[in-house]
């Protein structure tokens, strides 16, 4: 199993970014994939998750209405569109996949088994 994040960058307050998570090594359409972030000095936080087997999504309260998660089965990739970025969105963003198919893990990091290396997002005021 392999996940590779990309798209992180430095932007101004109110800006937008689109993160990508390329995957391989598992049956993409049968698994849930989540986006998480870790800010300096803070614990890892679940941001958004998509269940590729039924298309349902979930977002944390902190990003609801600003971020959008989507997936492309043909490319085996998951995306996180981030709009109206704020300085508190700064951190390293990771994508992760669950270890069991057809399982809805929500935003609990402990329910995800394989992780990417992360991509850095910096939002300045």
CA distance 66 to 77: 20
In order along its 125 residues, the chain shows pLDDT tens digits of: 999 999 999 999 999 999 999 999 999 999 999 999 999 889 999 999 999 999 999 999 999 999 999 999 999 999 999 999 999 999 999 999 999 999 999 999 999 999 999 999 999 99
Give the tens place of pLDDT for each residue, 8-18.
Answer: 999 999 999 99
Give the tens place of pLDDT for each residue, 87-109.
Answer: 999 999 999 999 999 999 999 99
Burial of 95 (0-12, 13-18, 19+ CB in 10 A): buried
Give residues with Cβ within 8 angstroms of 98, minimum separation 6.
31, 32, 33, 105, 111, 112, 113
CB 84 within 8 A of CB 14: yes
């Amino acid at each position: 199993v392999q996940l590779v994040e990309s798209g992180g960058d430095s932007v101004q307050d109110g800006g937008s970014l689109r993160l990508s998570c390329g995957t391989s090594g598992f049956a993409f359409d049968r698994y849930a994939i989540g986006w998480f972030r870790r800010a300096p000095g803070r614990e890892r936080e679940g941001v958004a998750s998509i269940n590729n087997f039924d298309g349902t999504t979930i977002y944390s309260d902190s990003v609801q209405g600003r971020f959008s998660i989507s997936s492309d089965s043909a490319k085996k990739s998951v995306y996180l569109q981030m709009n109206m970025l704020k300085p508190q969105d700064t951190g390293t963003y990771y994508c992760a996949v669950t270890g069991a198919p057809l399982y809805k893990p929500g935003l609990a990091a402990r329910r995800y088994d394989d992780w990417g290396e992360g991509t850095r997002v910096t939002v300045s005021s």
